[in-house]
Structure 1
Amino acid sequence: MLLFPSLYLNFKINSFNSAVTRFIDKLYIRLIFIMSARSSMENIETHVYKNELTDKVVDNVNTNRTSAVVEIDDQDTNEPPTSKIMENKNKNLMIRKTELMSSVCDKWYQHVLLIFCAFVCGYGYGLDGNIRYIYTGYATSSYAEHSLLSTINVINAVVSAVSQIMYARLSDVFGRLSLFIVAIVLYVVGTIIQCQAYDVQRYAAGAIFYNAGYVGVLLVLLLILSDFSSLKWRLFYQFAPTWPFIINTWISGNITSAANPIKNWSWDIGMWAFIFPLTCIPIICCLLYFRWKAAKTPEWEALKHEKSMYQEFGLTSTIKQLFWQLDIIGVILMGAFLGCILVPLTLAGGTQSKWNDGRVLGPFVLGFVLIPFFSFWEIKYAKYPLVPAKLVKDRGVWAALGISFLIDFIYYMAADYLYTVLIISVNESVKSATRISSLSSFVSTVASPFFSLMLTRFTRLKPFIICGCSLWFLSMGLLYHFRGGAESHSGIIGALCVWGIGTVLFTYPVNVSCQAATNHENMATVTALNYTLYRIGSAVGAAVSGAIWTQKLYGRILKEMGDETLAKAAYSSPYTFIVTYTWGTPERQAMVEAYRYIQRLETVVALVFCVPLVAFSLCLRDAKLTDSVAHDDISEGEYVDKKSDDPIGEFFGRMFRRGKNDKHSHKSATDSSTTTDSHKTESFDEKNSLHKASIINIHI
Structure 2
Amino acid sequence: MRSLFKTVLDQTKPVVDEGPRPDDKEAGIVSDDKEAANVSSERPPSSDGDDDSINKDAQPGVQKMEAITKVWSTRDLYLAYFLIWLIYFVDAIQQGMGTILTPYVTSAFQEHSLTATIGVASGIIGGISKLPLAKLIDIWGRPQGYLLTMCCMILGLVLMAASNNVNTYAAAQIFYWVGYNGISYTTTVFIADTSALRNRGLVLAYTSSPYIVTVWITGPLAQSVLNGVGWRWGFGIFAIVTPIVCLPLYFLFAWNERKAVKQGVLVRQKSTRTAWQSINHYFWEFDIICVLLLSAGFTLFLLPFSIFSVQKYGWRDPTTISLIVVGFVLLVFSAFWEKYWAPVKFLPWELLKDRTVCGACVLAAVLFIEYYIWTSYFTSFLQVVLRLEVWQTSYIANIYSIGSCLFSIPVGLAIRHTGRFKWVALYFGVPVTILAIGLLIQFRHEGTNIGWIIFVEIIYAFAGGACVICDQVAIMAAASHQEVAVVIAIEGLFSSIGGGIGGTVAGAIWTGVFPQKLKEYLPAETQDQWATIYGDLTAQISYPVGSATHAAIVAAYDDALRNMFIAATTITIVALVAVTFWRDIKLKDFKQVKGNVI
Identify if the C-alpha distance between structure 1 residues 610 and 529 changes in structure 2 by more than 3 Å, giving closer, same or farther.
same
**Counterparts of 2:54 and 2:127, CA distance in 1:** 36
Amino acid at match of 2:281: Q
Q: Pick the structure with greater CA Rg.
A: 1
**CA offset digits 1:361-402 (Å, max 9, x no partner):** 211111122222111111111233222221111211111111
1:105-127 per-position Cα deviation (integer Å, ceiling 9, x unaligned): 453x4433222111100011111
Q: 1:142 aligns with which of 86, 92, 108?
A: 108
In the superposition, the TM-score normalised over structure 2's length comes to 0.87
CA distance in 2, matches of 1:597, 1:66: 59
1:479 aligned residue: 440
| Per-residue deviation, 1:263 | 7.5
User: How far, CA to CA, are the matches of 1:433 and 1:294 in structure 2?
Assistant: 49
Post-superposition offset of 1:575:
1.8
Aligned to 1:12: none
What is the CA deviation profile of residues 437-463 of structure 1, one whole-angstrom value per residue up to 9, with x for unaligned ones? 111111011122232133222110100
Post-superposition shift, 1:326?
A: 0.9
Verify the 8 A CA contact 1:226 1:238 in the aligned structure 2: no
Q: Which residue of 1 aligns with 2:554?
A: 592
Question: What's 1:543 paired with?
Answer: 504
Answer yes or no: is the 8 Å Cα contact 1:102–1:228 preserved in 2: yes
Distance, in Å, in 2 between the alignment partners of 1:356 and 1:503 is 39
Displacement of 1:350: 4.3
Counterparts of 2:345 and 2:227, CA distance in 1: 44
1:315 corresponding residue in structure 2: 275
- The structure 2 residue matched to 1:525, chosen from 481, 486, 489, is 486
String of CA shifts for 1:572-630, please: whole Å, max 9, x gaps: 11223322x12232211221111111110001001111211111011112222238662
* Gapped regions of structure 2 (runs ≥ 5): 1-47
Per-residue Cα deviation, 1:555-582 (whole angstroms, up to 9, x for no partner): 1111111442232222111223322x12
Q: Which residue of 2 aligns with 1:602?
A: 564
Partner of 1:557: 518
CA distance in 2: counterparts of 1:423 and 1:352, whole angstroms: 30
Deviations 1:188-217 (A, max 9, x none): 111111111111111111112111111111
Tell me, what secondary structure is at the counterpart of 1:583?
coil
Q: Match for residue 113 of structure 1?
A: 79
* Structure-to-structure mapping, 1:459-478, within 5 angstroms: 459-466=419-426, 467-478=428-439
Amino acid at match of 2:558: R
CA distance, structure 2, for counterparts of residue 391 and residue 415 of structure 1: 32
Partners of 1:230 and 1:67 lie apart in 2 by: 17
Assess, with a 3 A threshold, how the Cα gap between structure 1 residues 208 and 262 changes in structure 2: closer, same or farther: farther
Q: 1:315 to 1:260 in 2, by over 3 A?
A: same
CA separation in 1, counterparts of 2:381 and 2:315? 27
In structure 2, the partner of 1:26 is none
More contact order relative to length (CA 8 Å, sep ≥ 6): 2
- 2:481 partner SS: coil
> In the alignment, what sits opposite 2:453?
492
Q: Equivalents in 2 of 1:122, 1:431: separation in Å? A: 21
**Counterparts of 1:62-211 in structure 2 under 5 Å?**
63=51, 92-105=59-72, 107=74, 109-211=75-177
Structure 1 segment 175-324 matched on structure 2, within 5 A: 175-260=141-226, 264-300=230-266, 303-304=267-268, 306-307=269-270, 311-324=271-284
Task: Give yes or no for contact 2:133–2:145 (8 Å, CA) kept in 1.
Answer: yes
Contact 2:523 2:548 in 1 (8 A): no
1:630-649 equivalence runs, <5 A: 630=592
Confirm or deny: 8 A CA contact 2:194 2:593 kept in the other structure: no
Q: Which residue of 469, 474, 481 corresponds with 1:508?
A: 469
- Partners of 2:311 and 2:520 lie apart in 1 by 13
**Contact 1:166/1:326 (8 A) holds in 2:** yes
Structure 2 counterpart of 1:429: 389
Query: Helix, strand or coil for the counterpart of 1:479?
Result: helix
Which stretch has the larger CA shift, 151-160 or 97-106? 97-106
Q: How far does residue 102 in structure 1 lie from its aligned partner after superposition?
A: 1.4
Q: C-alpha root-mean-square deviation of aligned residues, in Å?
A: 2.1
Match of 2:541?
578
The residue type equivalent to 1:169 in the other structure is K
User: For the residues of structure 2 that align with 1:93 and 1:372, how far apart are their CA atoms?
Assistant: 33
Q: Deviation at 1:477?
A: 1.1
Residues in 2 aligned to 1:159 and 1:363: alpha-carbon distance in whole angstroms: 17
Distance 1:223 1:67 in 2: 17
Alignment match, 1:401: 361
**d(CA) in 1 for partners of 2:144, 2:200:** 23
- Residue 492 of structure 1 aligns to which amino acid in structure 2? I
Q: Partner amino acid for 1:378?
A: E
Matched, 1:374 2:334: yes
Contact 1:124 1:276 in 2 (8 A): yes
Distance change (3 Å), C-alpha of 1:352 and 1:552: farther
Q: Give the equivalent residue in structure 2 for 1:342.
A: 302
> 2:42 aligns to what?
none
Residue 21 of structure 2 corresponds to none
Tell me the distance in 2 between the aligned counterparts of 1:335 and 1:553: 29
Aligned-partner SS, 2:314: coil
Percent of aligned pairs with the same amino acid: 25
Query: Residues 447 and 386 (structure 1 numbering): CA distance in 2 closer, same or farther, change over 3 Å?
Result: same
Separation in structure 1 between the aligned mates of residue 306 and residue 54 of structure 2, nearest angstrom: 55
Amino acid paired to 1:473: I
Alpha carbons 1:235, 1:452 under 8 Å: kept: yes
Distance, in Å, in 1 between the alignment partners of 2:358 and 2:432 is 22
